[in-house]
Structure 1
Amino acid sequence: MGRGRRSVLAAAVTVVCAVTLLGASGTAFASAQRPDPNPTPTVAPSASPSVTAPPDKDLEAVRARLDGLYHDAAVATDAYNAAGERAEKQSAEIADLEQKIAAGQARLDALKDRAGAAARAQYRTGGLPPQAQFLLSADPQGFLDGAGRVLAGQRATSDLITETTRTQQDLRQYADDAADRLRQLEANRKAKAAAQKRIKERIKEAEKLQATLEARQRERLAELERQAAERAQTAWLGSGVLKDVRGKASEADEKAVEFATAQIGKPYEWGAEGPKTFDCSGLTSQAWAAAGRPIPRTSQEQWKQLEHVAVKDMRPGDLIIYFDDASHVALYVGDGTIVHAPRPGRTVTLAGAGEMPILGVVRPDAG
Structure 2
Amino acid sequence: MGAVRQRRGASALVLLCAMAILTAPGLATGTAYAEPAAPAAPAAPAAPEPGAKSLEQVHKEIEGLYHQAGAATEAYNQAEAETKAQSDKIVELANLIVAGQARIDTLKSRAGAAARAQYRSGGLSPGAQLALSEDPGQFLDGAKRLRQGEKATSDMLSELDRTQHDLQRYAADASARWAILEANRVKQEAAKKEIEAKIKAAEELENKLQAEEKARLIQLEQEAQYKAQTAWLSTGAMKDVSGTATDAGQRAVQFATAQIGKPYVWGAVGPGSYDCSGLTSQAWRAAGKGIPRTSQEQLRLLPKVAVKDMRPGDLIIYFDDATHVGMYIGDGAMVHAPRPGRNVTIAGAGSMPIKAVVRPDA
| TM-score relative to the length of structure 2 | 0.81
Partner of 2:215: 219
Once the two structures are overlaid, the 10-residue window that deviates more, 258-267 or 120-129, is 120-129
User: Does 2:340 match 1:344?
Assistant: yes
CA contact (8 A) 2:129 2:142 kept: no
Amino acid at match of 1:213: L
Provide closer, same or farther for how the CA distance between residues 327 and 129 of structure 1 changes in structure 2, counting only shifts above 3 A: closer
User: Does 2:360 match 1:364?
Assistant: yes
Q: Deviations over 1:150-188 (max 9, x none)?
A: 232222211111111111111111111111111111111
Deviation at 1:134, TM superposition (A): 8.4
Distance 1:338 1:56 in 2: 36
Partner of 2:241: 245
Provide closer, same or farther for how the CA distance between residues 54 and 246 of structure 1 changes in structure 2, counting only shifts above 3 A: farther
Distance 2:125 2:238 in 1: 91
User: Does 2:262 match 1:261?
Assistant: no
Deviation at 1:148, TM superposition (A): 2.8
Deviation at 1:54, TM superposition (A): 9.0
Deviation at 1:214, TM superposition (A): 2.2
Counterparts of residues 183-332 of structure 1 (less than 5 Å): 183-332=179-328
Where 1:332 maps in the other structure, the secondary structure is: strand
CA contact (8 A) 1:283 1:341 kept: yes
CA contact (8 A) 1:233 1:355 kept: yes
Deviation at 1:122, TM superposition (A): 2.7
Partner of 2:159: 163
Where 1:344 maps in the other structure, the secondary structure is: coil
Deviation at 1:60, TM superposition (A): 1.3
Partner of 1:146: 142
Distance 1:340 1:263 in 2: 9
Distance 2:60 2:327 in 1: 25
Deviation at 1:313, TM superposition (A): 1.2
Deviation at 1:96, TM superposition (A): 1.0
Distance 2:216 2:283 in 1: 34
Provide the alpha-carbon RMSD of the alignment: 2.3
Provide closer, same or farther for how the CA distance between residues 87 and 57 of structure 1 changes in structure 2, counting only shifts above 3 A: closer
Structure 1: gaps (5+ residues): 1-52
Distance 1:220 1:92 in 2: 49
CA contact (8 A) 1:319 1:329 kept: yes
% identical equivalent positions: 60
Distance 1:72 1:54 in 2: 29
CA contact (8 A) 1:274 1:282 kept: yes
Provide closer, same or farther for how the CA distance between residues 206 and 307 of structure 1 changes in structure 2, counting only shifts above 3 A: same
Amino acid at match of 1:124: R
CA contact (8 A) 1:54 1:213 kept: no
Where 2:54 maps in the other structure, the secondary structure is: helix
Amino acid at match of 2:88: A
Counterparts of residues 16-55 of structure 1 (less than 5 Å): none
Give 2:349's match in structure 1, choosing from 330, 333, 353. Answer: 353
Structure 2: gaps (5+ residues): 1-48
CA contact (8 A) 2:334 2:347 kept: yes
Distance 1:214 1:338 in 2: 31
Once the two structures are overlaid, the 10-residue window that deviates more, 187-196 or 105-114, is 187-196
| TM-score relative to the length of structure 1 | 0.80
CA contact (8 A) 1:56 1:217 kept: no
Once the two structures are overlaid, the 10-residue window that deviates more, 189-198 or 322-331, is 189-198
CA contact (8 A) 1:54 1:212 kept: no
Deviation at 1:88, TM superposition (A): 0.9
The number of equivalent residue pairs is 312
Distance 1:318 1:134 in 2: 77
Q: Deviations over 1:37-61 (max 9, x none)?
A: xxxxxxxxxxxxxxxx996652211
